[in-house]
Amino acid sequence: MQCGTRLSRETSQPIKQQLGNQKQEYPQSPQAERRQVSVMFCDLVGSTALSKQIDPEDLREIILAYRQLSAEAIHRNGGRIAQSYGDGLMVFFGYPVAYEDNAQRAIRAGFGIIADMEQLNARLMSEKNIKLDVRIGIHTGRAVLGEMGNDDTHEQMAIIGDTPNIASRIQTVAPVNTVVISAATYKIIQGYFECQSLGYHTLKGVPQPMEVYGAQQEKDVHNRLEAATGCLTAYVGREQELETLVNLWQQVQSGNGQVVLITGEAGIGKSRLVQVFKKQIAKDDYVLRECYCSPYYQNSALYPVIDLLERQMHLASKDSPEIKLAKLEQLLHKYECQIELVVPLLAHLLSIPLDERYPALNLSAQVQKQKILESLLTMVMALAAQQSYLLIFEDLHWVDPSTIELLNLIAKQVSRSRVLLLCTARPGFNFLNSNYEYFSQIIIKQLSESQTKLLIQQITGDQVVPESVIKLMVAKSDRIPLFIEEMAKMALESRWLGQGEGTDDVTIPDTIQDLLMAKLDRLGTAKEVAQIAAIIGRKFSYEVLRAVSPLDTATLNSSLTQLVNANLLIVVNVQASYVFKHSLIHDAAYESLLKSTRKNYHQKLVQVLEEQFPEVVETEPELLAYHYTKAELKEQAIHYWQLAGQKAVASSANLEAIEHLHKGLELLLTMSFTPERNQQELAFQTTLGTALVATKGYAALEVELAYKRSEELCEQIGETPKLFWVLRGLWAMSAGQARYQTSLEYGQRLMSIAIAQQDRSLELESHFTLGLDLFWLGEFANSREHFEQGIALYEPQLHHSHAFITGQDVGVASLAVDSWNVWLLGFPEAAMGYSEKAIALAKQLSHPYSLTQAQACACWLHQFLGEAAVVVQLADAVITLAQEQSFPFWLGWGHILRGWAIAHLGEAQEGIDQICKGLTTFQSTGTQGWLPYFLALLSEAYGKLGQVEEALVVVAKALSEVQKTGECFWEAELYRIKGEHLRVQLQQTKAQAQEAAVEECFLQSLDISRRQGAKSLELKATISLARLWQQQGKNEAARQILSQIYGSFSEGFETKDLKEALVLLAEL
């Protein structure tokens, strides 16, 4: 054919039809969306020169042929031709429909165009002596896509952003007939394709030089783990799970077969655990068989087994039936099967025609199926009889019913074999009666925060990762390893590792963006519902969604059902509420909306909530605060953040309260300074102080900052009823810092305000502050007087609301602390009554902080009484509550008391360790008080261990703290404990001078306790002194002094100290 001869009409007509009908193959795109897209630019090389060589009509036919083959390759891989520029094409992969491997598809399409061009060139060379070349450039990035313009300017597939420009410029530097990709695309596809860096290029319109890669060929990999071979991140956590698997494997090798089901969310590391386990036992002699279930074959009987057999037989599509049958026979010989019986069964399973050697099976479908299952079971047991057998079934949540039957058959037989049946599945799946002794389920949970930090550290190396980034990882990834890994890798390339700021708007990692959008794009109308629901939040109410959505009820319900069936939403309550299964799915739906659309929906949502859902406004003010913030309506947002903080404090959700209040303060700080604004900030700061006391401790720096700022605001505002509560906060801070004279002054100021205002509620609070100050200072009678007056004033209905300001119920606290006074003053039974009332009241009020406080104070009382077993029980309750509610102050307290108790129950070293752990936690709150008492407990524990020298060092430190702070309520006991340690030394050294020192300590303890009126401590000191005198032969003096103190008690004769005194009196 000569140059200029037209291509046949048969060649050109299908091109026109295909390109003309192209629009109908895709769903209508929305007006506009934000999303990640891989953009391909494909351009003919030298078309300008070509246009000078041939007739325009012929050139048109050539270009149409080029477009047709390009369109076919593009469509095969899920791409969409957005625009045609004569001989150039702009193609989207990821819009309007995303696939989880958009970037891979773009490269495959590019390879397909280049391969198909060879066929076109062969024809063009023979017909016109022409050869066409192409250049292909691909870039992946974020953009706004959709309809734009009107009438003549209307574009159905417009794209705004730099992504198409970069793809176009990359195409210009591509060698002919190659696919060149950007570094952004390479990051997503690396491991799946062989690529070579082509260096950095300066591209027109792009500020910085960009590295580009030449994509060469696709690698032979099947999943992410294979693609990541050689560069998998270090395995973090799961030590216990791996140890369990190894231990079970050892049992298998001994002939005790096991069945293990590993369950966990997608991406949480089930397959990785299996991979690590296989590596762990790699040197063992065993048979390995791996089966994979697929979502596409859930209704294909025995699909995982068929796939396994075909892989073992190395079946190829080109194999003839005779070859396939021969391969089956060869395989079955390894299993020592009865070939004539098993071949027909498995040939039927594998759809392999039989030859004349095998008669047709005249069996019913059910019988045939049963015999196939029995044959497969026999094959498993035959191999297991020869050596250990690891049989793995992955992703059982996609398993077909027949495979379940087979698994149950195998599971029932493995107990007396060397088979480990190891399965993985998502939560909620099981296939075996878990009562079998040889069945184990390993539930893989989210990583802990510490493991998350370690995983991030493994990825980021020496980079410092700010705490805000850690929090972001936890919140966004649900602590799922795959998501954490991708987010950490993204962080390495971003600014937020360096400064830890501006992370609130961090986008989804490019590497998983397509995966998430693919789930949404397959939904049709349901996608719009997901987007609107994402505006409401990760969890949303059906009724609220219905009120906001423009869709009719039938369409809405159908869409929600579709979202649930697609495993994107979880039904919390039918027709009541739903939750996005993963935070990143929620984020993907949210981020796909334009900013203006989001803002409008947020504004519409708060209007709907306020008008139609008053119960939501009342119970979830933080929800309105969030949406008003997103709608950029600051005043309303500040109002609701304040309500949310106050409500959270009232329900003891202190961590949440801190978060709400900080968000409101951030907005408030952008407002002009006015008296009204200062009043509002004062309310924020005082509420914040309450929440910080509960979560950080009374003396934490954050507490000091909140109350100092509150004091400044009070001075600026002038007379304000909040001054009392600000001073109350400063009192608590001073007391926590062991500045007791300062706290006493604050307490006196509080009482002056209460009396001046004739406010009995404020008097009640003032009595508590003065009572506790005086307790620390060893004035127990005066302390008790204040507590008793406060208890007399207390009415739960009137005064429990104070807990929302101070963090504690003043009635509970007064009863709990006063129980110490009552015991110290010599009334142990009455003291126990006070303590029991405090705990009962706290339970009645359902106030976690007050209950923790009451139980912690009860720990002290029973420690005073020497009841170690009771202390353990109470301390365990304190520790549990403190951990649940994030009360570090009480958590440390609980560990210290528990440590003392177990030391006295015979586990001295463990007790010392726990006391030290508790002290570390307790002092991390900044608290300086209580230390003499806690050190006394530690000293006793060292004494129980026989480490007298260390015990004396600790006592000396405690007495030094008494001198430094004036906290002397336990001073008498410190001298007695010191004397007891010195007496142990005396027994070892027999030094007479030491004996005088022992006596001096006991006498000093006696003197302090008498001066303080602490009769119970006086009894303890007297018992110690009387025993010393007994050893010295001073029985009469000992009897006299002991008899005197014993006779002063009117109750508590069954308590440890009084019983000991009675026994000693009998000895004397």
Express each pLDDT in 992-1044 by its tens digit. Answer: 667 889 999 999 999 999 999 999 999 999 999 999 999 999 999 999 999 99
Tokens found for residue 209: 């030089």
Distance between CA 686 and CA 486 in Å, rounded? 40
Phi and psi at residue 362, in whole multiples of 5°? -105, 65
Residues in a beta bridge with 540: 578
pLDDT band at 502 (very low <50, low <70, confident <90, very high): very low
Cβ pair 458, 233 in contact under 8 A: yes
What pLDDT is recorded for position 1? 33
Name residue, tokens 């590596």: 279
HSE of 317, CA atoms in CB hemisphere, 13 A: 0
Q: Which CB contacts under 8 angstroms, 24+ apart, belong to 86-90?
A: 86/47, 87/43, 87/44, 87/47, 87/63, 88/41, 88/42, 88/43, 88/44, 89/40, 89/41, 89/42, 89/43, 90/39, 90/40, 90/41, 90/159, 90/164, 90/167, 90/168
pLDDT band at 870 (very low <50, low <70, confident <90, very high): very high
pLDDT band at 226 (very low <50, low <70, confident <90, very high): low
Distance between CA 736 and CA 730 in Å, rounded? 10
HSE of 128, CA atoms in CB hemisphere, 13 A: 21
Element (H, E) at 650: helix 634-650
Q: What is the 3-state secondary structure (H, E, C) of 412-471?
A: HHHHHCCEEEEEEECCCCCCCCCCCCCEEEEECCCCCHHHHHHHHHHHHCCCCCCHHHHH
pLDDT band at 462 (very low <50, low <70, confident <90, very high): confident
Strand segments, DSSP code E, in 315-404 are: 388-394
Distance between CA 629 and CA 607 in Å, rounded? 13
Strand segments, DSSP code E, in 75-232 are: 80-85, 88-93, 134-148, 155-160, 178-182, 193-201, 210-218
What pLDDT is recorded for position 1000? 96
What pLDDT is recorded for position 3? 35
Which of 182-186, 228-232, 535-539, 664-668 is least confident?
228-232
What pLDDT is recorded for position 582? 76
Which of 531-540, 563-572, 676-685 is least confident?
563-572
Distance between CA 741 and CA 921 in Å, rounded? 26
Pairing label, strands 388-394, 286-292: parallel
What pLDDT is recorded for position 806? 82
Q: Is 733 helix (H, G, I), strand (E, B) or coil?
A: helix
Q: Is 260 helix (H, G, I), strand (E, B) or coil?
A: strand
Angle at 7 between CA 5 and CA 11, to 5 degrees: 175
Fold of 9-226: Alpha-Beta Plaits (3.30.70)
Cβ pair 627, 605 in contact under 8 A: yes
Amino acid 562 reads: Q
Residues in a beta bridge with 393: 291, 423
Q: How many CB atoms lie within 10 A of CB 1046?
A: 18
pLDDT at 100 over 80: no
Number of DSSP helices (H) and strands (E) in the chain, helices first: 49, 16
Cβ pair 805, 725 in contact under 8 A: yes
Name residue, tokens 């009241």: 841
Question: Has this prediction a pTM greater than 0.75?
Answer: no
Alpha helices in 669-700 (DSSP H): 675-696
Amino acid 129 reads: N
Distance between CA 148 and CA 31 in Å, rounded? 7
Q: Is 190 helix (H, G, I), strand (E, B) or coil?
A: strand
Q: What is the pLDDT of residues 922-974, one digit of tens each?
A: 998 888 899 999 999 999 999 999 999 999 999 999 999 999 999 999 999 99
Which of 115-124, 216-225, 845-854 is least confident?
216-225
Fold of 972-1068: 1.25.40
Mean pLDDT of 84-88: 81
Q: Is 569 helix (H, G, I), strand (E, B) or coil?
A: strand
Widest CA span of the chain, in angstroms? 138
How far is residue 443 from each of residues 263, 276, 1023, measured CA to CA in Å?
5, 16, 56
What pLDDT is recorded for position 33? 87
Which of 226-240, 857-871, 1019-1033 is least confident?
226-240
The radius of gyration of the chain's CA atoms, rounded to the nearest angstrom, is: 39
- Averaged pLDDT of the chain: 87
Looking at residue 396, the DSSP 8-state letter turns out to be: G
Kindly report the CATH class assigned to 238-443: alpha beta
pLDDT at 212 over 60: yes
Distance between CA 380 and CA 289 in Å, rounded? 10
pLDDT at 5 over 50: no
What pLDDT is recorded for position 50? 77
pLDDT band at 17 (very low <50, low <70, confident <90, very high): very low
pLDDT band at 501 (very low <50, low <70, confident <90, very high): very low
pLDDT at 12 over 50: no
Decide: residue 501, CB within 10 A, 0-12 exposed, 13-18 middle, 19+ buried. Answer: exposed
Domain ranges of the chain: 9-226, 238-443, 449-506, 507-593, 972-1068
Helix axes of 992-1012 and 1015-1032: crossing angle, nearest 10 degrees = 160
List CB contacts of 733: < 8 A, sequence separation 6 or more.
698, 699, 703, 704, 707
- Architecture of the domain delimited by 507-593: Orthogonal Bundle (1.10)
Mean pLDDT of 536-553: 90
Distance between CA 843 and CA 830 in Å, rounded? 20
What is the total residue count of the chain?
1068
List CB contacts of 63: < 8 A, sequence separation 6 or more.
44, 47, 86, 87
Which of 106-115, 650-659, 1051-1060 is least confident?
650-659
Distance between CA 685 and CA 662 in Å, rounded? 9
Q: What is the pLDDT of residues 889-916, one digit of tens each?
A: 999 999 999 999 999 999 999 999 999 9
Pairing label, strands 258-263, 439-443: parallel
Q: What is the pLDDT of residues 379-425, one digit of tens each?
A: 989 888 889 999 999 989 878 889 999 999 999 989 889 999 999 99
pLDDT at 493 over 70: no
Cβ pair 654, 662 in contact under 8 A: no
pLDDT band at 155 (very low <50, low <70, confident <90, very high): low
Q: What is the pLDDT of residues 44-84, one digit of tens each?
A: 987 777 777 787 888 888 889 999 999 999 998 889 998 88
Q: Is 205 helix (H, G, I), strand (E, B) or coil?
A: coil
Q: How many CB atoms lie within 10 A of CB 705?
A: 14
- Specify the higher pLDDT residue, 334 or 747: 747
In terms of Cα–Cα distance, which of 278, 309, 293, 244 is closest to 390? Answer: 278
Which of 7-11, 199-203, 767-771, 957-961 is least confident?
7-11
Distance between CA 434 and CA 259 in Å, rounded? 10
What pLDDT is recorded for position 222? 53
Q: What is the pLDDT of residues 280-313, one digit of tens each?
A: 999 999 999 999 886 536 778 898 998 899 888 9
Amino acid 126 reads: S
Distance between CA 961 and CA 839 in Å, rounded? 31
Phi and psi at residue 996, in whole multiples of 5°? -65, -40
Which of 162-166, 824-828, 931-935 is least confident?
162-166
Tokens found for residue 289: 């068989």
What pLDDT is recorded for position 765? 92
Amino acid 714 reads: C
pLDDT at 699 over 90: no
Q: How many CB atoms lie within 10 A of CB 127?
A: 18
201 in the Ramachandran plot: left (φ > 0), alpha (ψ -120 to 50) or beta? beta
Distance between CA 659 and CA 471 in Å, rounded? 12
Alpha helices in 129-182 (DSSP H): 163-172
pLDDT at 148 over 60: yes
Q: What is the pLDDT of residues 18-29, one digit of tens each?
A: 333 333 333 334
pLDDT at 87 over 90: no
pLDDT at 1066 over 80: yes
What pLDDT is recorded for position 22? 34
pLDDT band at 15 (very low <50, low <70, confident <90, very high): very low
Give the burial string for 223-254 (b: 16+ CB within 10 Å, else e). eeeebeeeeebebbbbeebbebbeebbeebee
What pLDDT is recorded for position 173? 92
Q: What is the pLDDT of residues 597-624, one digit of tens each?
A: 999 999 999 999 999 989 889 988 998 9
Percent of the chain beyond pLDDT 90? 51
pLDDT at 739 over 50: yes
